[in-house]
Structure 1
């Protein structure tokens, strides 16, 4: 997200899933509730991906115009309260899982540096 606030554009975060719940966590995300998918879309979450490492490290990447507003929008939905309650047993930290995300700073973006160097981004 070079040149922008870490709260807009591309956002990357980490969290920690309990190692003994990885299969259940994967299963829950293989069929996310349609109303949850709609709420994410409608509150500004785009191109949202979750990656899970074997020790439970969870990495999320999304695009949004305003991460704080997207988070607040989700917090105001009834479906998010139900989803967070259902997901709470999967995470190492107590509380709503979506409130414990650790936002990472972007330190390299290939296309941005190619563009800044006057190089084509695709061959």
Structure 2
């Protein structure tokens, strides 16, 4: 199991919309995430800075990387682009964090 953590940014006036969209996440998106080895996936919002902290456990880096290429993931990115900082391909601007401590 590989632990991944990252930070993204939601627009200040879009906090509620971001939360709503994740409460109603598409079942086919969940299915594809699981198919690509994701489990124990959480996203937290720090309202004062508009920062989103994501954490996910994956089985394999290559399998996880392939998730970005799926049609459903591309559709999700397009759906989320109006409410968060994104790259030119609609993927979220993401800063990957280096793990410095872990305790089971």
1:89 to 1:68, Cα distance in 2 relative to 1, 3 A? farther
Q: Gaps spanning 5+ residues in structure 1: where?
A: 1-7, 112-123
Q: TM-score w.r.t. structure 2 length?
A: 0.87
Pairing 1:1-123 to 2, within 5 Å after superposition: 9-54=2-47, 55-72=49-66, 74-95=67-88, 96-98=90-92, 100-111=93-104
Q: Which runs of 4+ in 1 moved over 3 A?
A: none
When the two structures are superposed, what TM-score results if normalisation uses the length of structure 1?
A: 0.75
Larger radius of gyration: 1
For structure 2, the residue ranges without an aligned partner over 5 or more in a row are none
Computed over aligned residues only, the root mean square deviation of the Cα atoms, in angstroms, reads 1.6
- How many pairs does the alignment contain? 102
